[in-house]
Amino acid sequence: MTEFALRFVQSPHYRGELEGATHYGESDPPGEGPYVQIWLRIEGGVIQDASFQSPGCPSSRACGGVLCALVKGRELEKIRELCVSDLLVVVGELPEGKGHYADRAISALRKAIGE
């Protein structure tokens, strides 16, 4: 994992339900295995704020936190181009068997923005 991603593993920043969120997406239902939930506040086509929730392993926290940092302040149209490989470039290598959290984070984002 990159140093940038490790900051999100240890920090509660971007974690938890976002007050005033206008959009919500989840990769899988909570309680039914690995999942990522994401909340967004979008105004004027720009993501003003973002937060996430996941089961809590370091890989899930890194992917969720980095994704929120990447999308915050960006135009929605630019975010539509974001893919799993982009997220993994910033997060870095995940432990074996944990790569699915990057997929889940992007899936939750896609659902939140209506794709």
Tell me how far the alpha carbon of residue 92 is from its chain's centroid: 15
pLDDT of residue 3: 86
- The single residue listed with the structure tokens 């909570």 is 30
Which residue pairs from 99-102 have beta carbons closer than 8 angstroms and sit at least 24 positions apart in sequence? Answer: 100/34, 101/34, 101/36, 101/54, 101/57, 101/59, 101/60, 101/62, 101/63, 101/64, 102/63
Topology of the domain covering 3-112:
Sufe protein. Chain: A (3.90.1010)
pLDDT digits (tens, 9 = 90+) for 47-106: 999 999 998 789 999 999 999 999 999 999 999 999 999 999 999 999 998 989 999 999
Q: Domain spans of the chain?
A: 3-112
| Per-residue pLDDT tens digits for 51-65 | 999 987 899 999 999
